[in-house]
Amino acid sequence: MKVEIWSDVMCPFCFVGKKNFENALAQLPFKDKIEVEWKSFQLDPDLPVEGLDMSTKEYLANRKGMPEQQIQGMLDHLQQAGSAVGIEFNQDRSIPVNTIRAHRLSHYAQERGKGNEIEEALFFAHFTAGKNVGDIEVLASLAEQIGLNATEVKAFLATDEQVDEVTADITEAKALGISGVPFFVLDRKYGISGAQPTEAFVEALTQAFHESQPQFEMKGNTDADACGPEGCEI
């Protein structure tokens, strides 16, 4: 069964949702039969690729016009949600940045079997370590941490490769009616919006998986003539 996850590196609840989803997977006896594909989504594609010289808190106040009380309430909620799943949110250090390069790197890593690893590294770098995930040197270092070649990653990021793939993901999200992230699509049959609790993921994944399996049902009279290892019934 395939699970597609639309997310953005700048989305804190995408990080929380990733943790809850992974905790759910760990509880499933069929977890090895689930393929995960990360899809790109941009919350603010108008941000500069080099990032802003301000914290996320300042960005929300200055660029989004959000009142301080609303921002603080959101950050307090984030801290609680993050602590519950082992995430340390340092929004006073997180750098607002155009995530196009991070998404391109995600596609690059995913093609090499490192999709989940690079997503975790990107989220941690942005939200906890306060690193600029639009900077090529930072991205190359993260790639190296998960076993990719830093020199090759730098050369890749210096091009426009995988831009079309990122754009295609965003276009596909619109076609599916996805307007916010995280968004999980299970086997192209069910959608899960937001950072749902682990229990909700367990229930949805279990249902979708069982429905994806071939169903076998006995038909006809079970007493009909038949032969077996011990001979034929007469």
In a domain, 46, yes or no: yes
Residue 49: other Cβ atoms inside 10 A: 13
3-state secondary structure of 34: coil
Say how many domains are in the chain.
1
In a domain, 156, yes or no: yes
* CA end-to-end distance (rounded Å), the chain: 45
DSSP, res 36: E
Q: What is the DSSP string of 111-171?
A: HTT-HHHHHHHHHIIIIIS---TT-HHHHHHHHHHTT--HHHHHHHHTS-TTHHHHHHHHH
Q: Specify the pTM.
A: 0.90
Radius of gyration of the chain (CA): 22
The enclosing domain of 172 has a CATH number of 3.40.30.10
In a domain, 172, yes or no: yes
3-state secondary structure of 5: strand
- Domain residues for the domain of 206 are 2-212
The 10s digit of each residue's pLDDT in 58-106 is 899 988 888 989 999 999 999 999 999 999 999 889 999 999 999 999 9
In a domain, 232, yes or no: no
Are 112 and 148 contacting, i.e. CB atoms less than 8 angstroms apart?
yes
Residue by residue, pLDDT tens for the chain (234 residues) are 999 999 999 999 999 999 999 999 999 999 999 999 999 999 999 999 999 999 888 899 988 888 989 999 999 999 999 999 999 999 889 999 999 999 999 999 999 999 999 999 999 999 999 999 999 999 999 999 999 999 999 999 999 999 999 999 999 999 999 999 999 999 999 999 999 999 999 999 999 999 987 766 666 666 666 676 776 666
Element (H, E) at 205: helix 198-212
Residue-level pLDDT at 222: 60
In a domain, 145, yes or no: yes
